[in-house]
Structure formats: C-alpha cells, structure tokens
C-alpha cells in the first residue's frame, strides 16, 4: 500500500456476503440460508446471499455481478479454507475492478461444518458468529498492493558434484550467469571417484569429464574452485554472497599442469583423499588426472616450506613460474538472484560398526574404496588385488546395509548400495571370472529403470546372493583369510565362510561440510539430516526459504539418473525468478510508524527472519522492515513496547473488531 492511501473516508462502506453450500459439505450441517439472512441485517452489509458452489463459474459470476449491481466495495466469502480458494476469489474481485485485499474469507467448512457434523444448530450459530466477525473486519479493510522486487539474473551454485555441474550448465545454457563454488581443489564430487556406473556400466569418468570440462569453458559460468561461501545476506532476487577463495600457492592462469612440481616435491607420502588413503600423493598435487581446473595445489599442512621453512623446490623447477608462496586467501563478493545447494553426501563411517573389523583388517574395505581399486586411474592401475598382499582375491563378500536401515545409525535406505554392489559383483566377475562372489543382503532393492534386469544378469553370471545381514568378520589365528559369520535367513542356518576380501556397502550420510551454508541460510533439515524440501511431492527442489533450491544427494541419497534429473529441475525452478526479472511478494507485512518508534531494538531481537533492523544512525535510529524478508508472523508487532508496528491486513483495529463481534452474546445474533 502506498503510504497514507485509504479508502475515501466519505465513501460509504458496502459489504457483500456470500455463503457457500459446498454442495452438501456445508449445507447439510449449517443452515446457510439462515446465516445469509442474518448477515444481510448486519450494519454495512448491502447484499448477502447463499450459493451452491461459490468457487464455480456461476458462483464467481454472482460475485462479479453483485459487486457491479450493488456497488459493493468489500466482499466476505464464507466457504472452505482460504488455502483452497483465496487466490481464486482475489482474482474474482480484481476482475470486477476491486482491489484484491478487500476480501475477507471465513472458513465454515473445515473449521465448522466438518467438525460439528452432529450438532447442526450449534454449527449454524458458530457460522453466524464467524461471519459476523469477518464482516466486522471487512469494514476496516483497506486496499493493499503487492510488493515487487527486481531480480539479479544470476545464480549461486554450492557444490560441484554431478548435481552442481548439471544445474550450473543448465542455467548457463539458459543464458544466466552462474557462480559455481566448490570446496575441493577439483570439481566432480563422488562421481569422479567411481569406475563404472550401473546399470549400463558406462565408464564414470568418460561421461563425467566432458561435462566437467564444459564448466570453466562456459562464458556464463564463473567457477570458484577451492573456495567456500563465507556469508549470504539478502533475499530472493537480491542475495549478496561473500566467497572465500583459498590460496593454492600456484597461479591458476600460469600453471600448465605439467606436473614437474609434484614429481620433484620431496613430500610424497600423503594419503590421497581422492583415493581414500589407498594411494599416496605429494604435498603439491592434483587430486586426479582429469581434475578441473587442472591447476596444482600446494597443501599447506604438509608442505615443507610451510611446516619447516625449507625446500621451495617446486618454485625452482616450475617452468611456467606459476608457484607463488605469497598468494593469499581472497574474498570475492557476488550478487545473485537465486541459490542452489548441491553439497552432496559423505560415505557412512564404517568404523561405527566394529563387528566388521574395518581398520583392523586391510582386506575389509568400503564400497567407495573398492571403486578406487577397480579404477584404471586408481592406486593399483585398475588391478583388482587384496590391499593386504597385492594378490588377486579369489573369494569376495559384499555386505549390504552397513549403517543403513538401522535405527542406531541411519534409519533410511541409502538407495544406491544394492545396485552399487551388484555392479561391483559384476566387475569382479569381469576381471576374475573364477572368483567366487557373494552378496549378503536384507532386501535387494533394484527399483530403477533397467535395474532389475541388471540384477538378473549378474545372477546369471554366477554371483551368489545370500539373504542375511552379515553378522561379524574375524580372523582365525595365523590365517590370512577373513571369516564371515552370517545367517542364511532363507535356510535359517548360521554359517561361517572364509573370504579373502570383504567390501562394506556403506550408506550415504549428509556432508558435514554442508553445515555452515545450512546455518547461513537457515535451511531446515529432515529427520535424516539431509536438506528438507518445501514439499515432498509438489515442491521437491524448493526450500522453505524463497529463492533457495536443492538438488542431488544434499537432499537425500540417490543415484546419478535421479541426481541429474533433480539438478535440471532445480535449475529450472531457480531460473523462474531470473526469467521473470522480478519477484512479487504478499503485501501483508509489517510496517513501522516512524513517529512512534523509539529505536529500542526489541523487534530486532524477536525476528527470526532478520527482517527488521534498527538503522544505525547517530542517534534516534528507527526500525525498518525488510519487505522481502518479512513473513507476516507478527512477532515484532506483539513485542513492540511503543506499539509502533502494524501488520498490513491484520491491524489492531481489524483484529479488535473481529473479537468484539465474536464475543457478542449469542442471543444478540437473532
């Protein structure tokens, strides 16, 4: 509403009241005719009527015609919940030339006829009271105008696994600017660590690398790798983001990725994060050969110059003069209209299940480690060997549901592990056809397209599927092999079998590194601690914070096909405000009477949305509402000791009038 604008004081108030039958939903319990008749006698009511379905086209026509015929300037509709049809009726008012805020709805279905089905008399009385109360408020309604904000046509994408990469490419291809922030030295996420992908067995790197390479090349994408989001302020359309770019100590522009620095680096025994500790790297490194960007990074924690003040060999040998020990962390500020969270997952820490002897036995490994052992670019060059002795395994067991479907750890199903182990079983058979492979499962979940078929194929290849969660892994004294204890639940028999390798199909858990961004944006988490979507079915990639979207395993465990589909969905949703160029916000928000405000900041302390702030002037700072962030919750209104704050559409006078009408003794309603 523009300041000071009101209905012309001299203008007569003419209210129209429409009581809906909702077929029999309302009319079977409430005497709608009686309610309409009662309403028609109330002050300021010019016209009152009942109608079988007010929301139907004839019903809406009745409203439109009555507005014109009776020159109505306020409308009260008693029907179902405003959540159903308030938007419908607002449009009806607008079509008849009335401001849409001059509508007041009364819910006499969910809150009256349905809950008082067996007491029609009392229900009718209650409906009368509710309608009278709405009429009292309607008399005081004033026109309000929606708020509009300009949108910065760019998006921040946090996390550059396959989810973040896909979302970024989609948005960039639509013509919007993207800032893609990735914590790690390279983009790619977990998909870069996989060897092949189920169910089609495409080589993971072969399908991922082209997308990875497209990212820095795209004119609309600004890739900020080895970077983290430091702060986010603002609101949909107008986020201000500060990003910290960590120092690589190697100049990204100059580095030609020749690798001489790593070759000559004397510190060579650092467990490679990318290979999950199964291989080693130098203190100067790229995580993997296809890394994007291909720039080398000096790891400050292990570099001799930073730890002992000696060496700097890399600096001497670099033919491109790219090594720069004076590099410092940089702060970059960007403005974006929308944000996509794609921070992915961590693998469940299998040490939490001591019965499987991970860490005790070198030949007990996690499923992701197994991927690295299969990979041609992995620590063994793709040779599948036992980590303990480098010899080919002849008998391998896969243990499913490690940490998943388990109320002590992760109650949920991690969704990808069944298929990942089936894939692994196939890969073992491919490399060593004579190897014996057993998969120990509780239920095999092969739900995706082509998954059941792939499972059947792997069964045909001779893999032994055993129904039973493996109970324990141990070693007999002086044995090289692992003994696995399990119940074959289909036989009801407990067995012990020796294996020379055991792979734990660990579940997926939320990234711990996602916590800062979750706190910054005040995003909610679902009970499984993954990010919570705005609605599980109808708004699956939105969050409850306008302008912030989710995709990939950040939202919950899923396979690559689902991740990619969801990433495209998030990109599409995130582009809507950008394409529109403006966002429209509800006009029902708080405003501050500057004359009454004493700048005490109580409002600031109660607002959980950071939507009200006392401006820092020399003295006499006044509270100001951030119209885009205000959600109309009313906390500041109630807390303000000076009564300086009002909610548009819910003023104190309006609410008091409603109360007065409601509290009127029932006898006075006849």
Ligand X SMILES: Cc1cc2nc3c(=O)[nH]c(=O)nc-3n(C[C@H](O)[C@H](O)[C@H](O)COP(=O)(O)OP(=O)(O)OC[C@H]3O[C@@H](n4cnc5c(N)ncnc54)[C@H](O)[C@@H]3O)c2cc1C
Stretch of 12-20, 84-92, 426-434, 506-514 lying at the interface with ligand X (CB under 6 A): 506-514
The least distance separating ligand X from the CB of residue 348, rounded to whole angstroms, comes to 9
Contact string 419-438 vs ligand X (x = CB under 6 A): -x--x---------------
Helix (H, G, I), strand (E, B) or coil at 446: coil
Task: Answer with the entry of another protein, ligand X, none that 471 interacts with (C-beta below 5 to 8 A by kind).
Answer: another protein
How is residue 532 written in tokens? 């919570």
Q: What's the CA gap between 341 and 571, in Å, rounded? A: 11
Interface residue with ligand X among 45, 67, 311, 563 (CB under 6 A) is 563
In order of 196, 227, 233, 508, the CA distances from 447 in angstroms are: 19, 37, 41, 18
Tell whether residue 505 is a contact of another protein (CB under 8 A).
Answer: no
Task: Answer with the entry of another protein, ligand X, none that 163 interacts with (C-beta below 5 to 8 A by kind).
Answer: ligand X
Q: What's the CA gap between 251 and 65, in Å, rounded? A: 72
Contact string 146-185 vs another protein (x = CB under 8 A): ----------------------------------------
The footprint of ligand X on this chain (CB under 6 A) covers a number of residues equal to 40
Tell whether residue 114 is a contact of another protein (CB under 8 A).
Answer: no
Closest CA to 350 of 502, 196, 162, 159: 502
* Phi, psi torsion values for 647, nearest 5 degrees: -100, 125
Tell whether residue 492 is a contact of another protein (CB under 8 A).
Answer: yes
Stretch of 2-10, 123-131, 343-351, 644-652 lying at the interface with ligand X (CB under 6 A): 343-351
The least distance separating another protein from the CB of residue 354, rounded to whole angstroms, comes to 4
Restricting to residues 132-171, which ones interact with ligand X according to CB under 6 A?
158-164
The least distance separating another protein from the CB of residue 428, rounded to whole angstroms, comes to 23
Interface residue with another protein among 376, 494, 579, 638 (CB under 8 A) is 494
Can you tell me which residue has the tokens 């036992």?
386
Can you tell me which residue has the tokens 């394409």?
579
Please count the residues of the chain.
Answer: 670
Do residues 597 and 642 touch, judged by C-beta distance below 8 A?
A: yes
The least distance separating another protein from the CB of residue 474, rounded to whole angstroms, comes to 5
Task: Answer with the entry of ligand X, another protein, none that 182 interacts with (C-beta below 5 to 8 A by kind).
Answer: ligand X
Closest CA to 281 of 271, 296, 293, 294: 271
Restricting to residues 467-486, which ones interact with another protein according to CB under 8 A?
467-472, 474-478, 485-486
CA-based R_g, the chain, Å: 33
Kindly report each contact of residues 452-459 with a partner whose C-beta sits within 8 Å and lies 24 or more positions away, as own/partner.
453/199, 454/198, 454/199, 454/419, 454/422, 454/423, 454/426, 455/419, 455/422, 457/426, 458/422, 458/425, 458/426, 458/429
How is residue 514 written in tokens? 């996602």
Q: What's the CA gap between 193 and 190, in Å, rounded? A: 5
The least distance separating another protein from the CB of residue 548, rounded to whole angstroms, comes to 34
Q: What's the CA gap between 149 and 141, in Å, rounded? A: 25
Tell whether residue 517 is a contact of ligand X (CB under 6 A).
Answer: yes
Helices 162-174 and 204-217 cross at an angle (nearest 10°) of 40
Nearer to another protein, 141 or 413 (CB): 413
Tell whether residue 413 is a contact of ligand X (CB under 6 A).
Answer: no
Interface residue with another protein among 307, 489, 524, 656 (CB under 8 A) is 489
The least distance separating another protein from the CB of residue 359, rounded to whole angstroms, comes to 12
What's the distance, Cα to Cα, between the start and end of the chain in Å? 38
Nearer to another protein, 326 or 478 (CB): 478
Stretch of 7-15, 206-214, 305-313, 556-564 lying at the interface with ligand X (CB under 6 A): 556-564
Do residues 168 and 573 touch, judged by C-beta distance below 8 A?
A: no
Interface residue with ligand X among 112, 134, 181, 298 (CB under 6 A) is 181
Interface residue with ligand X among 59, 344, 378, 540 (CB under 6 A) is 344
User: Which positions ≥6 away from 88 have C-beta within 8 Å?
Assistant: 55, 60
Task: Answer with the entry of ligand X, another protein, none that 257 interacts with (C-beta below 5 to 8 A by kind).
Answer: none
How is residue 599 written in tokens? 């700048």
Stretch of 9-17, 241-249, 487-495, 535-543 lying at the interface with another protein (CB under 8 A): 487-495
Q: What is the DSSP letter of 351?
A: G
Q: What's the CA gap between 27 and 10, in Å, rounded? A: 38
Nearer to another protein, 494 or 565 (CB): 494
Tell me the β-bridge partners of 233: 240
SS3 content of the chain, % helix, strand, coil (to 5): 30, 25, 45
Q: What's the CA gap between 263 and 317, in Å, rounded? A: 10
Angle 529-532-409 from CA coordinates, rounded to 5°: 20
Angle 235-241-245 from CA coordinates, rounded to 5°: 165
Q: What is the DSSP letter of 223?
A: E
Q: What's the CA gap between 568 and 186, in Å, rounded? A: 22
Interface residue with ligand X among 167, 250, 428, 553 (CB under 6 A) is 553
Count CA atoms within 13 Å of residue 274 on its CB side. 25
Instruction: Give the number of other Cβ atoms within 10 Å of residue 83's Cβ.
Output: 10
Interface residue with ligand X among 74, 372, 445, 511 (CB under 6 A) is 511
Nearer to another protein, 443 or 615 (CB): 443
Tell whether residue 481 is a contact of ligand X (CB under 6 A).
Answer: no
The least distance separating ligand X from the CB of residue 374, rounded to whole angstroms, comes to 10
Restricting to residues 196-225, which ones interact with ligand X according to CB under 6 A?
197-198
Interface residue with another protein among 58, 354, 462, 536 (CB under 8 A) is 354
Tell whether residue 388 is a contact of another protein (CB under 8 A).
Answer: no
The least distance separating ligand X from the CB of residue 416, rounded to whole angstroms, comes to 4
Instruction: Give the number of other Cβ atoms within 10 Å of residue 641's Cβ.
Output: 9
Do residues 442 and 403 touch, judged by C-beta distance below 8 A?
A: no
Task: Answer with the entry of another protein, ligand X, none that 511 interacts with (C-beta below 5 to 8 A by kind).
Answer: ligand X
The least distance separating ligand X from the CB of residue 393, rounded to whole angstroms, comes to 17
Contact string 349-368 vs ligand X (x = CB under 6 A): ------------------xx
Interface residue with another protein among 324, 406, 586, 613 (CB under 8 A) is 406
User: Which positions ≥6 away from 538 have C-beta within 8 Å?
Assistant: none
Write out the residues near ligand X by the rule CB under 6 A: 158-164, 181-184, 189-191, 194, 197-198, 228, 342-345, 347, 367-368, 371, 416, 420, 423, 511, 513-514, 517, 552-553, 558-561, 563
Write out the residues near another protein by the rule CB under 8 A: 354-355, 357, 401, 405-408, 442-443, 467-472, 474-478, 485-489, 492, 494, 496
């Amino acid at each position: 509403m523009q300041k000071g604008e009101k209905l012309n004081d001299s203008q007569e108030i003419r209210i129209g009241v429409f009581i809906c039958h909702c077929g029999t939903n309302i009319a079977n319990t409430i005497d709608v005719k009686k309610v309409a008749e009662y309403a028609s006698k109330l002050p300021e009511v010019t016209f009152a009527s009942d109608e079988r379905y007010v929301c139907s086209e004839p019903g809406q026509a009745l409203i439109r015609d009555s507005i014109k015929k009776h020159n109505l300037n306020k409308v009260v509709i008693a029907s179902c919940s405003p959540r159903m049809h308030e938007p419908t009726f607002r449009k009806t008012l607008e079509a008849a030339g009335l401001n849409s805020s001059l509508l007041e709805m009364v819910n006499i279905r969910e809150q009256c006829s349905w809950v008082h089905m067996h007491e029609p008399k009392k229900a009718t009385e209650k409906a009368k009271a509710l309608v009278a109360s709405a009429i009292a408020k309607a008399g005081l309604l004033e026109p309000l105008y929606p708020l509009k904000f300009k949108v910065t046509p760019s998006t921040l994408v946090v996390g550059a696994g396959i989810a973040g990469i896909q979302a970024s490419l989609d948005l960039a291809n639509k013509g919007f600017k993207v800032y893609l922030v990735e914590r790690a030295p390279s983009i790619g996420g977990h998909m870069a660590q996989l060897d092949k992908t189920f169910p089609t067995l495409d080589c993971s790197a072969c399908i991922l690398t082209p997308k990875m390479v497209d990212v820095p090349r795209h004119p609309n994408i600004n890739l900020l790798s080895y970077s983290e989001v430091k702060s986010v302020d603002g609101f949909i359309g107008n986020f201000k983001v500060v990003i910290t770019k960590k120092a690589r100590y190697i100049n990204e522009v100059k580095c030609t990725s020749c690798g001489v620095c790593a070759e000559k680096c004397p510190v060579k025994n650092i467990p490679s994060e990318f290979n999950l500790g199964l291989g080693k790297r130098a203190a100067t490194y790229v995580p993997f050969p296809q890394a994007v960007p291909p720039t080398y990074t000096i790891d400050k924690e292990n570099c001799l110059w930073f730890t002992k003040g000696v060496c700097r060999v890399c600096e001497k040998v670099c033919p491109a003069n790219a090594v720069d020990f004076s590099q410092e962390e940089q702060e970059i500020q960007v403005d974006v209209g929308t944000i996509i969270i794609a921070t992915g997952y961590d693998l469940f820490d299998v040490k939490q299940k001591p019965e499987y002897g991970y860490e005790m036995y070198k030949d007990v490994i996690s499923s992701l480690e197994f991927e690295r052992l299969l990979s041609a670019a992995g620590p063994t060059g793709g040779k599948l060997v036992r980590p303990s002795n480098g010899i080919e395994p002849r008998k391998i067991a896969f243990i499913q549901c490690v940490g998943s479907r388990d109320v002590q750890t992760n109650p949920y199903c991690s969704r990808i592990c069944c298929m990942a182990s089936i894939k692994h079983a196939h890969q073992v058979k491919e490399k060593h056809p004579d190897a014996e492979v057993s998969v120990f499962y509780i239920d095999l979940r092969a739900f995706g397209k082509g998954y059941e078929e792939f499972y059947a194929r792997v069964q045909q290849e001779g893999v032994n599927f055993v129904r039973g969660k493996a109970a324990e892994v141990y070693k007999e004294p002086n044995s090289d092999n692992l003994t696995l204890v399990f119940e074959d639940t289909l036989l009801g028999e407990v067995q012990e079998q020796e294996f020379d390798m055991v792979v734990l199909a660990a579940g997926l858990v939320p990234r711990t590194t996602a916590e800062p961004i979750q706190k910054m944006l005040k995003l909610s988490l679902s009970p499984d601690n993954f990010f919570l979507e705005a609605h599980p079915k109808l708004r699956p990639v939105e969050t409850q914070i306008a302008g912030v979207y989710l995709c990939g395993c950040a939202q919950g465990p899923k396979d690559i096909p689902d991740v990619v589909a969801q990433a495209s969905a998030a990109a599409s949703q995130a582009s809507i405000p950008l394409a529109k160029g403006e966002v429209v916000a509800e006009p029902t928000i708080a405003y501050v009477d500057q004359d009454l405000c004493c700048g005490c900041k109580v409002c600031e302390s109660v607002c959980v949305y950071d939507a009200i702030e006392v401006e820092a002037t020399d003295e006499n700072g006044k509270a100001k509402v951030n119209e885009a962030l205000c959600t109309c919750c009313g906390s500041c209104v109630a807390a303000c000791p000076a009564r300086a704050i009002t909610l548009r559409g819910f003023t104190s006078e309006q609410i008091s009038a409603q109360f007065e009408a409601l509290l009127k003794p029932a006898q006075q309603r006849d």
